[in-house]
Structure 1
Amino acid sequence: MTRLSVNINKIATLRNSRGGNNPNVLEAALAIERFGGQGITVHPRPDERHIRYRDVFDLKGAIRTELNIEGNCREEKFVRLVLDAQPAQVTLVPDDPGQITSNHGWDTVKHRSYLQDMSALFKGEGIRVSIFVDPDPVMVAAAAETGADRIELYTEAYAQEYTADPERALVPYLEAAKVAQQVGLGLNAGHDLDLNNLRYFAQHIPGLLEVSIGHALIADALYLGLEETIRRYNEQLR
């Protein structure tokens, strides 16, 4: 079964909006594990507007599932955080300064040499490296040349087109997945996957190892409760 890694940024956003420690990010992560989540994802940003760097160390010391840290490796503080925290996986995302949320993948051709250096740095510490890419076969093939272990397909375009034509929405992702298999890359996916579109994606994309889902899952939990929401998301992946 494809692993469900729950991005808890939105829980931290709610906490930070009021100050204090309610909701408690660490307690939420532990509950997610109890309810069936197979991983915890965080995406700290320099202004710490949601996940704080201290959260990362608290999580690493307490959770039993995999910790995945997403972020922009062009930020020195992020690189140091990952090296110090030693997560199971780091996902390299080319965020621009002040960006609200991730909205594009790496140009792995243009930045191949840089990504090779970063992959070597993290892998040298025993950290699995995933590179965030658009569903472009050229970018997928070039990602393999960086030495990364996996790619994470940016799925916003799929989510936007799914309602109108699921089959057409899936086409570029199928091509990207096939190339990933050919070049020996593991395959993750994330962004705007939800209870409406996740099952179709997971059933049709070969070799899908992990999905990272945050915004939609936390929003669903407001209505369904966290335990029931995670159960439903896992059901989509079976």
Structure 2
Amino acid sequence: MTKLSVNINKIATLRNSRGGNVPNLIKVAEDVQHFGGEGITIHPRPDERHIRYQDAYDLKPVVYTEYNIEGNPIPQFMDLVLAIKPTQVTLVPDGENVLTSNAGWDTVKHQSYLKEVIAEFKKEGIRTSIFIDTDKKLIAAAATTGTDRIELYTEKYAREYELGNQEAVNAYKEAAILASDLGLGVNAGHDLNLDNIKFFKDNVPGLAEVSIGHALISESLYLGIENVVNMYLHRLKY
């Protein structure tokens, strides 16, 4: 069964835009889980433009489902994750000035670096995942880093699906099959939404988890967050 992890970065963006504590990030995380969400994802960045590093600590006591922290493993980020010990850390090769994640890891070029980082997290019992494109060579290289999972970067699928090109899912299907054959779990995220999530889930075997934030929060403005969480759960389960 594919789990839904809700990325609450956009809640933090809204809070930070006005100052104060409205909306209350901790309350939203509690509510999302109460509504059926099976995980909470955050992606703190060095400039703290949405999730603040303190938020990561404050969320730890209230996240009783899966706690997934995403980010580029710079020293500050690694210290944060090692202190909190979330369920999962997802390694994303973000530059400091990027607006949102826009590429997966080159697991060949950064092989030794990833091995070192992953070994540090695994010593503390933290499940690791590498954000990655569908290139089979890169997936094969990911399997030699010691990571537990990969997270398929789904922006291209989402863009092509919106244009009516359902065949775009094939690269993700093949990538997931290869990853499974290599002993890796498969997550996915980026631009997945209520329109494209079911087709993706139905065609990508062994999909363990999806992380959805921007679309889910945007859809909730019209439909309500409890309703939207359950709409995603329904698409992922049936």
Name the counterpart of 1:89. 88
Query: Which deviations, in whole Å up to 9, do the C-alpha atoms of 1:86-123 show, x marking residues without a partner?
Result: 10000000001211100000000111111011110000
The amino acid of 2:55's aligned partner reads D
Name the counterpart of 2:117. 118
Deviation (angstroms), 1:166: 4.1
Runs of 4+ aligned structure 1 residues displaced above 6 Å come to: none
The amino acid of 1:209's aligned partner reads A
Name the counterpart of 1:58. 58
Contact 2:29 2:63 in 1 (8 A): yes
Q: Quick one: distance in 1 between partners of 2:106 and 2:25?
A: 33
Name the counterpart of 1:30. 30
Query: Which deviations, in whole Å up to 9, do the C-alpha atoms of 1:57-104 show, x marking residues without a partner?
Result: 11111121111000000x211010000011000000000121110000
Q: Quick one: distance in 1 between partners of 2:181 and 2:32?
A: 34
Q: Percent identity?
A: 60
Q: Quick one: distance in 2 between partners of 1:211 and 1:31?
A: 19
TM-score, length basis structure 1: 0.98
Q: Quick one: distance in 2 between partners of 1:135 and 1:216?
A: 22
TM-score, length basis structure 2: 0.98
The gaps in structure 1 that reach 5 residues or longer are: none
Name the counterpart of 2:15. 15
Deviation (angstroms), 1:165: 3.7
Query: Which deviations, in whole Å up to 9, do the C-alpha atoms of 1:30-78 show, x marking residues without a partner?
Result: 00000010000000000100001111111111121111000000x2110
Contact 2:153 2:188 in 1 (8 A): yes
Q: Quick one: distance in 2 between partners of 1:172 and 1:193?
A: 16
Mapping of residues 30-179 of structure 1, within 5 Å: 30-73=30-73, 75-179=74-178
Q: Quick one: distance in 2 between partners of 1:80 and 1:17?
A: 27
SS at match of 1:212: strand
Q: Quick one: distance in 2 between partners of 1:71 and 1:148?
A: 15
